[in-house]
Structure 1
Amino acid sequence: MSSDTTVTESYSWDDYETYSDYPSTSDNNATPCFQDDIYAFAQKYSPIVYSLVFVLAVVGNVLVLCVIRRYRVSQSGGACAFSLTDTFLLHLAISDLLLAFTLPLFAVQWAHQWVFGLTACKISGALFSLNRYSGILFLACISFDRYLAIVHAVSSGWKRNTCHAQFVCAVIWLICFGLSAVEITFKQVVEVETVGHQKAYLCQVWFNSVQWQVGLTMVSIILGFGVPLLIMLYCYIQIFRSLCNASRRQKRKSLRLIISLVSVFVICWAPYNCFQLADSLNKLGVVSGGCQFGHVMDIGILTTESLGLTHCALNPLLYGFIGVKFRRELVRMFKGLLGQRGLLGMEGWKQRRLRKTTGSFSSAESENTSYSVMV
C-alpha cells in the first residue's frame, strides 16, 4: 500500500470526547485497524446505560431540588440565610440535571445516528464538560467549607452569610463555561464508517492537530480532576486530624455524607481520566501501541465514561441512604403533599412543620457543622 493511499481510520467510539486514530504501525504495508466490533458494542451498550442514567438522575435530582427549596422557604432570612453546604449542593444538583438532559440525545445517536444538528451537538458537548468541571469544583468548595468550620472553627456569622457562597458559585460557573468553550469550538457532526462499512453521522470532537488534542486533554485532567482532588484530600486529612479527639457525634455524621460524595466522584471519574491520560501518552509516542492497544483504549474510554456519567444519578442515592436529615425532610415533604386537605389542613401542616424546623435548626446551629438539610 502506497503512503498516499487513503485507508479507513480506527475511531474511538467515545460519544463525548474526541475519537482517535491508532495506526497499526508505521510500515506502509501494514493493515489498517478496523474496529467494527467497538461500534457494534456501543450500539447495544450505550442506549441502555444512558436511558437508565437519565431516568434515575432526573428523578433523584428533582427530589433534591424540591427538598432544598422546601427547606429554603422555611428560612426567614432569604437567600443569604441558606447553608453554605446546601448552596453548593444545590448547584451540584443543577449541574447533574444539565448533564442528564443531554443523555437521551446520545442514546438516540448510538441507537441510530446523530439527527439533532450541529447546534445541539455543540451545546450537548459543552454541558458535558460543564458538569465534569463544575461537579468536582463544587465538591472542592464543600470540602473547604468543612475545613474552615471544623479545623479553624470559623464563626457561624460567616457560615450564615451564604451570599459569599453564591458569589463563589457564580465564579465557578463562569470558569467552567470558559473551559467548556473547547467543546463549542471543536465539536462537529462527522461522517464515519460503521459496521459493514456503512456511513453514519456522530457528534464528535474534531481536532486538526494532535498537539491541540493532547494539550486540551491534559488541561481537562489537571484542572477538572487533579488539582481539585488534591485540595479535597488536603482538607479532609486536616479534618480527620482535628476530629481525632472530638466528642461530638454530629460532626462525624456531617462528614460521612461529604466524604461519601467525594469518594463516589473519584471512583466514577478516576478510571476515565486514567484512560484519557494513557491515550494522550500514546499519541505523544511515550507509550507504544498498535491495533490491540487502540482497541483497549476505545473500549476502556467508552465504558469508563459511562461509569462517570452514572455519577449524576448516584448523588441523590447517597443523600437518601446516608443523609439522615435529608431522608427526614423528604418523608415530611411527601407527608405534607399527601396530607393536604384544603386550606385549613395546609395551614395546620405548615405550623407543625415550622415548630419542628425551629427546634431542629437551633440544635444544628449549636453544632456549627450540621447546619444543612443534607446531613
Structure 2
Amino acid sequence: MAEIDEMTFLTTPTDYSSYYDSINETFSPCEEFDLSFSRWFVVTLYTLVFILGSIGNSLVVFVLVKHWNQTNLTDLCLFNLALSDLLFIFSLPFYIHYMVIGDWTYGNFMCQFLSCSHQSGFFSSIFFMVVMTMDRYVVIMHAHGVARYRTMKTGVIMVTVVWMLSFFISLPAFIFANVTVEDQDTGCYYSPENEGWMHYDLFITNVLGLVVPMLVMVICYSRIIPTLMSMKTAKKHRVVRLIISIMVIFFLFWAPYNISRFLKFLYSQDLIESSCAWEGNLKLSTTVTEAIAYTHCCLNPIIYAFVGQKFMRRVLQLLKKWAPDSFISSSSYRSSRKSSVGSRSSNVTSTIIM
C-alpha cells in the first residue's frame, strides 16, 4: 500500500481512504503521492504517545488504586479516564508494526478486537471528560441540592453506563473490521455492508467526539467561571486558567482532525471540486492531524490529575518511598502539603483542582 492512509488500517476514528478512493471515480487517477515523511512522522509520534501515555496514565491508576479507601466520585471518574486512555493506546504498537512492515500479521480476530477496543477507549475517554465537566458544574452551581446524590453507588452506576454506551457505539467497528488482501498486501479495513455505516462512523466521531463535548464544556464552564470570579479565594485565577486550558487544548487537538475527516467526506461525495491537489492535501492533513489528536491522551493525566495538589501529594509520597531523598527534596514535599491545606479554604476550587 503506497499511501499512508492505507497503511494505518482501522484507527479511531476509522480511516476511509480506500473507501474514498473506490468511489471517487469522476476524474482520472492522480499520480501516487509521496507520503513517506508522514508515515515516519506518524510512527515516531505514535511511539512517543504510547510511551508517555502509558507512563502517565499508569501512574494515575496506580496512585488511585493505592488510595482506593479514600476514593470519591471525582477520583472514580479520573481512574476510569486513565483506564480509557490506556485502552485507547493499547493498540498503538500494533498500528506501528503494521505501518513499518506494510502487512497485517495478527489475524482477523485481532483486527476486530483492536478496532473495537481502540474506538471504545476513544469514546469512553471523551465521555468521562464530559461527565467530569458536568459533575463540576453540578457541585459548584447546585452544591447543596446534589450533595446527597454524589455517592460511590451513583458513581459506579454512572461508570457502568459510560462503558456500556462506549462499547455499543463501537460495536460496528468490531462487526465490520476484516482482514483483506489488496495487491499482495494484507490489511485490516473497516468494510461495512453499505455506505450508511460509513456515514454513521463519521457522524458519531464528529458529533459525539467533538461537537457535544465542546458544547458541554462551553456551557458548563461559562457558568462556572463567573461564579469562581465572584469568590474571595486566592485560587480562583489559577482555576480559571485551568478551565480555559482544558477547553482550548481539547479543541486544538481534536478539531483539526474532525474537520479534515469531514472535508474528506465532502470530497468523496463530489461536494468539493475534484483535483489531485485536494486529494493529496486531504490525505496528508487527515494522517497528520489524526496522529496529533492522539497525543491528547498523554495530556489528560497532566490536565486532570497532576495539576491537583491532593494527587501530587500522593505522587510525592509514593516517589519518596521509591526514590532516594536526593531526587525528591523534602522542601518540595512540605510545599505540596501547605498548598493542599490552603486549597481547603474553598470547597469549590478543590472540586476542580484535586
TM above 0.5, yes or no, is yes
Q: Which residue of 1 aligns with 2:138?
A: 148
Q: Which residue of 2 aligns with 1:326?
A: 311
Q: Does residue 188 of structure 2 align to residue 191 of structure 1? A: no
Tell me, yes or no, if the aligned pair for 1:12 and 1:21 is still in contact at 8 Å: no
Count of aligned pairs: 337
Q: Which residue of 2 aligns with 1:214?
A: 199
Specify every segment of 5 or more residues in structure 1 that has no aligned partner in the other structure, as ranges: 1-7, 76-81, 194-198, 341-352
Q: Does residue 11 of structure 2 align to residue 26 of structure 1? A: no
TM-score using structure 2 length: 0.83
**Which amino acid in 2 is paired with 1:218?**
F
Q: Distance in 1 between matches of 2:247 and 2:137?
A: 14
Matched ranges for 1:10-21 at <5 A? 12-13=5-6, 14-15=8-9, 16=11, 17=14, 18-19=16-17, 20-21=19-20
**Which amino acid in 2 is paired with 1:243?**
L
Q: Which residue of 2 aligns with 1:62?
A: 58
| Structure 2 CA distance for partners of 1:91 and 1:179, relative to 1, 3 Å | same
Tell me, yes or no, if the aligned pair for 1:126 and 1:184 is still in contact at 8 Å: yes
| Structure 2 CA distance for partners of 1:290 and 1:179, relative to 1, 3 Å | same
Q: Distance in 2 between matches of 1:86 and 1:331?
A: 17
Of residues 35, 39, 42 in structure 1, which corresponds to 2:32?
A: 35
Q: Which residue of 2 aligns with 1:286?
A: 271
1:174 is displaced (CA, Å) by: 0.6
1:183-233 CA-to-partner distances (Å, cap 9, x unmatched) read 11221223345xxxxx32222212453343124312321122211221121
The root-mean-square deviation of aligned C-alpha atoms, in Å, is 3.1
Tell me, yes or no, if the aligned pair for 2:88 and 2:117 is still in contact at 8 Å: yes
Q: Which has the higher helix share?
A: 2
| Structure 2 CA distance for partners of 1:297 and 1:323, relative to 1, 3 Å | same
Q: Distance in 2 between matches of 1:67 and 1:47?
A: 30
**Which amino acid in 2 is paired with 1:12?**
D
Q: Which residue of 2 aligns with 1:52?
A: 48
Name the larger-Rg structure.
1
Answer with 244-253 or 170-179: which moved more: 244-253
Tell me, yes or no, if the aligned pair for 2:130 and 2:217 is still in contact at 8 Å: yes
Q: Which residue of 1 aligns with 2:259?
A: 274
Tell me, yes or no, if the aligned pair for 2:181 and 2:187 is still in contact at 8 Å: yes
1:11-37 CA-to-partner distances (Å, cap 9, x unmatched) read 83343222233477625xx3x234352
TM-score using structure 1 length: 0.79
Of residues 236, 248, 251 in structure 2, which corresponds to 1:263?
A: 248
1:132 is displaced (CA, Å) by: 2.1
Percent of aligned pairs with the same amino acid: 27
Q: Distance in 2 between matches of 1:173 and 1:235?
A: 23
**Which amino acid in 1 is paired with 2:104?**
W
| Structure 2 CA distance for partners of 1:306 and 1:255, relative to 1, 3 Å | same
Tell me, yes or no, if the aligned pair for 1:140 and 1:228 is still in contact at 8 Å: yes
**Per the alignment, in what secondary structure is the counterpart of residue 144 of structure 2?**
coil
1:312 is displaced (CA, Å) by: 1.3
Q: Which residue of 1 aligns with 2:106?
A: 116
**Which amino acid in 2 is paired with 1:172?**
V
1:67 is displaced (CA, Å) by: 1.7
